[in-house]
Amino acid sequence: MVSPATGSVVLVAFPFSDLSASKLRPAIVLASAFTLIELLVVMVIAVVIMAVSLPSFISMGRGAGMRTAVNNIRSTVALSRQWAITHREQITFVASSTGMVYNMTNGVFSEATNDHACYYATNAAGTLVQSITDLPLDVTFDNTSETNLTFKTDGGLTDLTPLPIVLVDKTSIIRGDPITKTISINGLTGGIKVQ
């Protein structure tokens, strides 16, 4: 400060209590943050939750192939029955444990080189009513021979005691607990029942 009388600079001392170090420097505000330990604990909890829920997601995916196969076969059998009624001709539903190929040029069925089970529907002349459809890779038919269901024009079957169509989940056989679904068709009425 400058003295008005002498024009010289005068130093004025202030008590230290007024000019403490905290008042001279701006205060640094620390934001609260997570420590490394807290982050690791949260990550471990997340991994444990995922490990516990993973088997549920895997089994949900396995069941999807079986549900798809059952629904598709049931709808194809119903289509075959409906076709027989509306077009007044016999329709044969075929479930084959071996893959089949239909040659469009000469109209001949032949076994495929793969081991995929398939199903299809034909009329009495051998024309495809429902195209050859492979089952999902993890599903197959229980029997090793073909299952033929021939629908009459009244919607019933020619065989009044047909063999049921049994589907097996291949992955469940490996685990030792086979999962099967049975599609039964009433010979008299052509009604479809899934068990």
List per-residue pLDDT tens for the chain, 195 residues long. Answer: 555 555 555 555 555 555 555 555 655 666 677 889 999 999 999 999 999 988 887 767 767 888 889 999 999 999 999 999 999 999 999 888 876 665 555 556 665 555 678 888 999 888 888 888 888 888 888 876 678 899 999 999 998 888 889 988 887 777 788 888 999 999 888 889 998
Q: Are 69 and 101 in contact (CB under 8 A)?
A: no
Q: Are 132 and 175 in contact (CB under 8 A)?
A: no
Instruction: State how far the Cα of 77 lies from the Cα of 114, in Å rounded to an integer.
Output: 24
Q: Are 185 and 150 in contact (CB under 8 A)?
A: no
Q: Are 82 and 90 in contact (CB under 8 A)?
A: no
Name which of 195, 80, 99 is nearest 140 in CA terms.
Answer: 99
> Domain spans of the chain?
64-194
pLDDT of residue 135: 86
pLDDT of residue 7: 56
DSSP assignment of 128-156? EEEEEEEPPTTEEESSSS-EEEEE-TTS-
Please tell me the pTM assigned to this model.
0.65
CATH architecture for residues 64-194: 3-Layer(bab) Sandwich (3.55)
Amino acid 112 reads: A
